[in-house]
């Protein structure tokens, strides 16, 4: 199966008065049609910036995509998103790649009806007339589970609850049945019960429309529920990439291992009530420095001298499973087969 999106060595930097932020330092991954790829990492790891860089949505005065390729499959060829002008990218945004953002309150225009906010995407990319877009939007509203769709078309964002607003955002994202939907922490700002509904909705739409979903989150619980594959990011790089089961059962990168250990489990503590919750020591890397070493080195239990000298590349450790680490945790010794 060929991927519909191939990202290679993406580099993004932000130039500010306080210095240069090396936000993305050589990110490489694939996205396959109809799959759900979870992108996991802490704040600052570069999950959102990676995705936004692909379609030029990062603020461009301070930000700059400085290297790499993002090949989007198109008909009988590829389109390198990073080489397109802003005008050309506009066709990709919304039409080929849809976005769901985190905070539905601030992400919707308060002075425009939700119906119009959905329909304007359709008129732009699908060439529909106002009337056609309106009826398609109403159908879509019903599809995403908004009751009374015809009346609600003319309602404003502040008339809806958080969960409903997120459904509107989802409708906006899928309005033109894009190939890829990028969901940037869509459930983080919602109540737990509503979270589950939103996750189900996205899954249902995905089955219906066959799109690939890149689900950005820092919540490993959500990942377990919906992902086919997982990308773990740290310090602006991909540190591990695997199928979801493989990641949970057989993690290879020290960071992933630390993350999974940090999830408190009721069945582990036994009767020892004094056992502490595990956490990863140390603080995230300073992105003002160019990355010439493994970003996780200062916090790693298995660190050795090579880690401080070179940025580890992604090494294939199994089928559909790579990790960016010089240490072989399974064998308990540094790898000697990488140049």
Partner 1 sequence: MQRYIISRTFQSLLLLLGVLIIIFFMVRLTGDPATLMVARDAPEEVREAFREKMGFNRPMIVQFSDYLFGIVQGDFGESLHFDQPALEIILERLPATFQLATVALLFAIVVAIPIGIIGGSNPGSPLDSLGRTLGLLGQTIPNFWLALILILIFAVNLGWFPSFGRDKTISVVLPAIALGFASMGQLVRLTRSAVLEIRNEDYIRTARSKGISTLRIGAKHVFRNAALALISVISIQYSYLLGGSIYIETIFSWPGLGNLLQQAVDGRDFPLVQAIAFFISFFVIALTLLTDVVYALIDPRIRYSR
Partner 2 sequence: MTTAAPPVDFDQFEEQTWKTRLAYVTRLLLRDRGGTLGFILFILIVLTALLAPVVSPQDPLEQNLRAAKQPPAWEEGGSWEQPLGTDTLGRDMLSRIIYGTRVSLTVGFFGVLIAGTLGMVAGLTAGYLGGRVDSVIMGVVNVFLAIPYLVFVVVVAAILGRNLINVILIFGITDSPIFARVTRGEVLRIRESGYVESATSAGAGTARILFDHILPNLIGPLITLATFEMSAMIFYEAGLSFLGLSVPPSIPSWGNMLQVGRQYLTIYPWIATWPGVAIAITALSFNLLGDWLRDVLDPRLRRSRN
Contacts 24+ apart (CB under 8 A), 140-149: 140/171, 140/174, 140/175, 141/115, 141/168, 141/171, 143/171, 143/205, 143/208, 144/168, 144/170, 144/171, 144/201, 144/205, 145/197, 145/201, 146/171
Size of residue set near partner 1 by CB under 8 A: 31
In the complex, minimum distance from the CB of residue 48 to partner 1, in angstroms, rounded to a whole number: 11
Interface of this chain with partner 2, residues 180 to 219, rule: CB under 8 A: 218
Ordered DSSP codes for 46-92 = SHHHHHHHHTT-S-TTTEEEEEEEEEEEETTEEEEGGGS-HHHHHHH
Q: Is residue 94 close enough to count as binding partner 1 by CB under 8 A?
A: yes
Q: Mark the segment that binds partner 1 (CB under 8 A) among 32-40, 105-113, 254-262, 331-339.
A: 105-113
| Residue nearer to partner 1 on the CB measure, 114 or 259 | 114
Q: Is residue 285 close enough to count as binding partner 2 by CB under 8 A?
A: yes
Number of residues written out for the chain: 339
Q: Is residue 16 close enough to count as binding partner 2 by CB under 8 A?
A: yes
Q: Is residue 18 close enough to count as binding partner 2 by CB under 8 A?
A: yes
In the complex, minimum distance from the CB of residue 42 to partner 1, in angstroms, rounded to a whole number: 21
Q: Which of 207, 262, 318, 338 binds partner 2 (CB under 8 A)?
A: 262
Spatial distance between the Cα atoms of 54 and 13, rounded to a whole number of angstroms: 13
| Partner residues linked to 97 by β-bridges | 93, 180
In the complex, minimum distance from the CB of residue 261 to partner 2, in angstroms, rounded to a whole number: 10
166: closest CA among 139, 193, 148? 193
153: closest CA among 170, 166, 136, 176? 136
If one counts every other C-beta atom within 10 angstroms of the C-beta of residue 41, the result is 25
Interface of this chain with partner 1, residues 164 to 183, rule: CB under 8 A: 169, 172
Q: Is residue 295 close enough to count as binding partner 2 by CB under 8 A?
A: no
Q: Is residue 158 close enough to count as binding partner 1 by CB under 8 A?
A: yes
Q: What are phi and psi of 277, to 5 degrees?
A: -70, 140
Q: Which does 124 bind (CB under 5 to 8 A by kind): partner 1, partner 2, none?
A: partner 1
Q: Which does 98 bind (CB under 5 to 8 A by kind): partner 2, partner 1, none?
A: partner 1
Q: Mark the segment that binds partner 1 (CB under 8 A) among 98-106, 134-142, 259-267, 284-292.
A: 98-106
Place of tokens 């090579």: 306
| Residue nearer to partner 1 on the CB measure, 92 or 259 | 92
Spatial distance between the Cα atoms of 130 and 108, rounded to a whole number of angstroms: 20
Q: Which does 29 bind (CB under 5 to 8 A by kind): partner 2, partner 1, none?
A: none
Q: What are phi and psi of 135, to 5 degrees?
A: -70, -35
Q: Which of 43, 292, 316, 320 binds partner 2 (CB under 8 A)?
A: 43
**What ranges in the chain are assigned the alpha helix state H?**
47-54, 86-92, 114-125, 130-143, 149-152, 162-174, 192-209, 220-226, 244-249, 254-262
Q: Is residue 111 close enough to count as binding partner 1 by CB under 8 A?
A: yes
Contact, 330 vs 302, CB < 8 A? no
Q: Is residue 108 close enough to count as binding partner 1 by CB under 8 A?
A: yes
Instruction: Name the residues that contact partner 1, by CB under 8 A.
Output: 55, 57, 61, 89-95, 98-99, 101, 103, 106-112, 120-121, 124-125, 155-156, 158-159, 169, 172
Instruction: Name the residues that contact partner 2, by CB under 8 A.
Output: 16, 18, 42-45, 218, 220, 259, 262-263, 279-280, 283-286
């Amino acid at each position: 199966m060929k991927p519909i999106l191939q990202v290679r060595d993406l580099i993004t930097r932000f130039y500010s008065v306080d210095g240069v932020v090396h936000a993305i330092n050589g990110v490489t991954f694939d996205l396959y049609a109809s799959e759900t790829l979870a992108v996991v990492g802490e704040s600052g790891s570069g999950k959102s910036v990676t995705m936004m860089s692909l379609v030029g949505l990062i603020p461009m005065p301070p930000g700059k995509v400085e290297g790499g390729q993002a090949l989007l499959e198109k008909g009988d060829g590829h389109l390198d998103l990073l080489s397109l002008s802003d005008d050309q990218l506009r066709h990709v945004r919304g039409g080929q790649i849809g976005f769901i953002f985190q905070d539905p309150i601030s992400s919707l225009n308060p002075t425009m009806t939700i119906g119009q906010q959905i329909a304007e995407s359709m008129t732009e990319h699908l060439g529909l007339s106002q009337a056609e877009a309106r009826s398609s939007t109403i159908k879509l509203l019903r599809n995403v589970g908004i009751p009374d769709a015809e009346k609600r078309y003319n309602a404003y964002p502040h008339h809806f609850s958080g969960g409903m607003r997120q459904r509107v955002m989802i409708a906006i994202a899928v309005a033109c049945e894009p190939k890829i939907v990028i969901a940037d922490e869509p459930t983080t700002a919602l109540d737990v019960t509503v979270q589950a509904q939103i996750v189900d909705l996205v899954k249902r739409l995905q089955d219906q429309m066959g799109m690939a979903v890149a689900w950005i989150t820092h919540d490993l619980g959500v990942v377990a529920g919906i992902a086919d594959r997982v990308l773990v990011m740290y310090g602006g790089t991909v540190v591990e990439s695997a199928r979801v089961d493989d990641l949970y059962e057989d993690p290879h990168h020290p960071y992933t291992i630390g993350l999974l250990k940090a999830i408190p489990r009721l069945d582990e503590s036994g009767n020892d009530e004094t056992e502490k919750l595990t956490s990863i020591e140390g603080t995230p890397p300073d992105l003002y420095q160019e990355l010439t070493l493994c970003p996780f080195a200062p916090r790693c239990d298995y660190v050795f001298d090579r880690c401080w000298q070179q940025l580890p590349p992604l090494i294939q450790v199994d089928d559909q499973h790579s990790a960016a680490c010089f240490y072989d945790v399974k064998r308990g010794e540094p790898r000697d087969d990488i140049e």
